[in-house]
Amino acid sequence: MTESIWPRPFTAEELQERFGGTLAGHLDIRITEVGPDYLKATMPATEKVFQPMGLVHGGANVALAETVGSVAANMLVDREKYACVGQEINANHVRGVRQGTVTAIAKPAYVGRTSQVWDIRLYDDNNKLTCISRLTMAVIKVQQQ
C-alpha cells in the first residue's frame, strides 16, 4: 500500500466546502476521493460546460484540472503560513467528451519549498484518457494581518 503524502487526513466533504460561490461550484466540480498520493474530482459533461460542437469545452477541462491540482497543492502546505497559487497550466485535449462525467486525478510530479508541479489526467466514463494537464503552483507566504 502507498504511504500517504498528506500531512493530515482530509475528507472529500471537507475539501468540497471551499467551493461555494466559486467557478468550481458553478461548474458542479466535486471532490470525490482523497487517495494516499492523489486527489480525484469530477465534473458533469452537460450543456453548461459544452462548446458549440457539443463537446466539453477545453477551458472547462482546464478549470477542472486547475481546481483539483490547486486543492491538492494546498493540502500539502501549512495554510496558516503558506498558500499555493497557480503559476502556469497547460493541457493536451486528446479525446472529446459529449456526455457523462469527466474525472480528474491529480498526482504530484514535484513538491518543493517554493513550487509544486502536478500531473492531472482527465478521463471519461469509459476510463478513456481525454486530457493531460500539467499545473505549476507557486508556494507563497500568507500575509499576516
First to last CA, the chain: 42
88 catalytic, yes or no?
A: no
Could you give the CA distance from residue 26 to residue 48 in angstroms, rounded to a whole number?
9
The count of other CB atoms within 10 Å of the CB of residue 73 is: 27
Say if CB 117 and CB 109 are below 8 A apart.
yes
Q: In which residue are the cell numbers 469530477 written?
A: 42
Q: Which among 47, 66, 80, 88 is annotated as catalytic?
A: 66
Catalytic residue numbers, as ranges: 66
